[in-house]
């Protein structure tokens, strides 16, 4: 079984010492391990799914930490902001306590390394989602070492290969954990490895946090830039006028406000929401040449994505009202509300779905790229969309809401000027954000590779821990 990953190509062994002697650990996923490490099945070193009987005698009002799956962090950790009384959770949730190791069992949480070493639980006790494996190490297994094993690439890759179930309900079994054979050092050496990884992953995580803070600042700067440009223009000395719209405020005197419906080509087809329910039943999974477009295309901007198809007959029945054409502007109306894209040339023939609103506008009155900046990127328009959407959040937008959205519209030649400016300045910020994100990806890759190397004995960190200065 191959358990290689991009991070395995990082040359960690050249920068850190290795053990003097290695031997075959007699596991199919690892070629060699330190000769003095003992390979064992985890069933002999830990307990899985500890019994709730040890806490059933506690008073019903005892406060305990409550951990739904969204509170389990990727790459390790728990958000412990929620508590419940034990009587509320003891019969319907997974039990654990301080010192237990948690591993998400369901896809994609398992592959995304959702898990934690439980600590600082309220009264030392936690209950959480039933989609967690709970591992309680025995006396010969350091809980921190075990936690890092579960965060390693081999553990996750092997577990992924054993998943059972279908689609989004695939899980790793309890048997996988219990029967996994792993080379394990002595408890003092486990402690040294865990101490090393605590220190090094802490440093990496601190760097990642700084980069994420910089990304947040750059994104705030980008949002402010776009919103200023599409509402105030570029000339800070230009004469201003009251827009007559409370949430919009003042706009340049030569601009005007207009509702989107007055920019549409025609009332019957200019702004159109996709077909509902039974109209889209019986779709085909094979490529018929007639596609159904939706959020997956708008959010990603990739109009080749997707696998929903109509027969030629169904397409022609629906095309008059719902066809998507190049240079239409499409918006998401549910979930990620207000995302928008300009439809590129060369798309396959197709229609929009019920989660999509199509705008077919009079482009002689408005530059399509200016409108996209305004709808998709501008803070004020996103805020306005959120204010006017009807019903619950998931009910989404409708055509009436979009038709009556008010936009601030500069003259056509100024629209073109503003688009060029935004393409340049927002594009520059996008490049900086992309560079930061690539740096974070490399740090995460290095973090996983370092953990994997340490818990499989590819590097010897014992002396480094012994001589490391106190922090």
> 149 and 62, same structural domain?
yes
> 178 and 240, same structural domain?
no
Contact 222, 444 (CB under 8 A): no
Mean pLDDT for 422-438 is 96
Domain boundary among 409, 431, 458: 409
Torsion, Cα 91 96 101 107, to 10 degrees, reads 20
In whole angstroms, give the CA distance from residue 186 to residue 256: 75
> 170 and 284, same structural domain?
no
Contact 454, 148 (CB under 8 A): yes
> 251 and 134, same structural domain?
no
Q: Place 394 in a pLDDT band, splitting at 50, 70 and 90.
A: very low
Q: What is the pLDDT of residues 189-224, one digit of tens each?
A: 999 999 999 999 999 999 999 999 999 999 999 989
Closest CA to 322 of 276, 367, 288: 276
Return the H-helix or E-strand segment holding 406: strand 406-409
Give whichever of 210-214, 221-225, 321-325, 381-385 has the largest mean pLDDT: 210-214
Closest CA to 298 of 324, 266, 267: 324
Mean pLDDT for 246-265 is 89
Per the domain annotation, does 471 fall within a domain?
no
Q: Place 100 in a pLDDT band, splitting at 50, 70 and 90.
A: very high
Per the domain annotation, does 250 fall within a domain?
yes
Tell me the CATH number at 34: 3.90.220.20
Contact 159, 135 (CB under 8 A): no
Measured in whole angstroms, the distance separating CA 367 from the mean position of its chain's CA atoms is 33
Count other C-beta atoms under 10 Å from residue 37's C-beta.
Answer: 19
Q: Does residue 267 surpass a pLDDT of 70? A: no
Q: How far is CA 104 from CA 50, 65, 160, in A?
A: 16, 17, 12
Q: Place 386 in a pLDDT band, splitting at 50, 70 and 90.
A: low
Give the domain extent around 74.
21-183
Q: For the chain, how many structural domains are there in total?
A: 2
Q: Does residue 425 surpass a pLDDT of 90? A: yes
Q: Give me the helix-helix angle, 143-151 and 412-455, nearest 10°.
A: 130
| Long-range CB pairs of 27-32, under 8 A, 24+ apart, other chains included | 27/181, 27/182, 27/183, 28/1, 29/1, 29/3, 29/154, 29/157, 29/158, 30/154, 30/183, 30/456
Domain boundary among 363, 392, 409: 409
Mean pLDDT for 403-423 is 92
Per the domain annotation, does 222 fall within a domain?
no
Contact 159, 108 (CB under 8 A): no
Closest CA to 351 of 290, 282, 396: 290
**Tokens 């592959």, located at residue:** 111
Q: Place 392 in a pLDDT band, splitting at 50, 70 and 90.
A: very low
Per the domain annotation, does 86 fall within a domain?
yes
> 294 and 370, same structural domain?
yes
Return the structure tokens found at 263: 């920019």
In whole angstroms, give the CA distance from residue 367 to residue 373: 10
**Tokens 């439809």, located at residue:** 343
Rounded to 5°, the CA angle 312-314-318 comes to: 115
Biggest alpha carbon–alpha carbon distance for the chain: 80
**Tokens 């005892």, located at residue:** 62
């Amino acid at each position: 079984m191959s358990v290689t990953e991009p991070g395995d190509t990082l040359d960690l062994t050249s920068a850190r010492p290795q053990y003097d002697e290695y031997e075959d650990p007699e596991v199919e996923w690892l070629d060699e391990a330190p000769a003095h490490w003992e390979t064992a099945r985890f069933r002999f070193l830990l307990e899985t799914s500890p019994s709730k009987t040890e806490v059933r005698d506690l008073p019903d009002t005892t406060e305990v930490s409550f951990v739904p799956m969204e509170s389990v962090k990727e790459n390790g950790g728990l958000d412990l902001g929620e508590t419940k009384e034990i009587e509320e959770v003891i019969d319907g949730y997974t039990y654990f306590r301080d010192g237990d190791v948690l591993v998400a069992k369901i896809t994609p949480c398992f592959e995304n390394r959702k898990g934690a070493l439980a600590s600082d639980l309220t009264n030392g006790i936690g209950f959480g989602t039933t989609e967690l494996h709970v591992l309680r190490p025995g006396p010969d297994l350091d809980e921190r070492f075990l936690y890092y094993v579960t965060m390693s690439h081999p553990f996750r890759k092997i577990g992924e290969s054993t998943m059972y179930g279908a689609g989004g309900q695939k899980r790793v079994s309890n048997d996988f954990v219990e029967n996994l054979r792993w080379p394990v050092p002595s408890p003092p050496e486990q402690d040294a490895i865990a101490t090393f990884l605590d220190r090094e992953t802490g440093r990496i995580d601190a760097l990642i946090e700084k980069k994420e803070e910089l990304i947040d600042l750059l994104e705030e700067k980008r949002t402010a830039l776009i919103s200023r440009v599409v509402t105030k223009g570029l000339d800070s000395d230009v004469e201003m006028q009251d827009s007559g719209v409370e949430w919009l405020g003042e706009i340049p005197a030569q601009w005007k406000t207009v509702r989107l419906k007055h920019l549409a080509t025609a009332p019957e087809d200019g702004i159109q929401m996709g077909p509902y329910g039974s109209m889209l039943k019986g779709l085909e999974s094979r490529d018929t040449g007639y596609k159904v477009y939706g959020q997956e295309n708008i959010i990603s901007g990739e109009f080749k994505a997707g696998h929903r198809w109509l027969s030629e007959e169904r397409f022609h029945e629906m095309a008059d009202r719902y066809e998507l054409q190049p240079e239409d502007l499409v918006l998401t109306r549910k979930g990620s509300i207000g995302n928008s894209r300009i439809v590129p040339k060369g798309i396959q023939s197709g229609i929009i779905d019920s989660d999509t609103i199509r705008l077919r506008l009079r482009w002689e009155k408005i530059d399509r790229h200016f409108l996209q900046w305004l709808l998709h990127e501008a803070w004020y328009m996103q805020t306005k969309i959120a204010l006017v959407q009807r019903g619950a959040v998931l009910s989404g937008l409708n055509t009436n809401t979009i038709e009556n959205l008010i936009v601030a519209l500069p003259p056509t030649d100024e629209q073109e000027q503003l688009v060029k400016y935004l393409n340049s300045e927002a594009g520059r910020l996008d490049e900086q954000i992309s560079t930061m994100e690539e740096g974070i990806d490399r740090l995460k890759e290095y973090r996983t590779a370092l953990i994997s190397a340490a818990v499989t004995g590819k590097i010897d960190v014992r002396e480094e821990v012994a001589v490391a200065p106190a922090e």
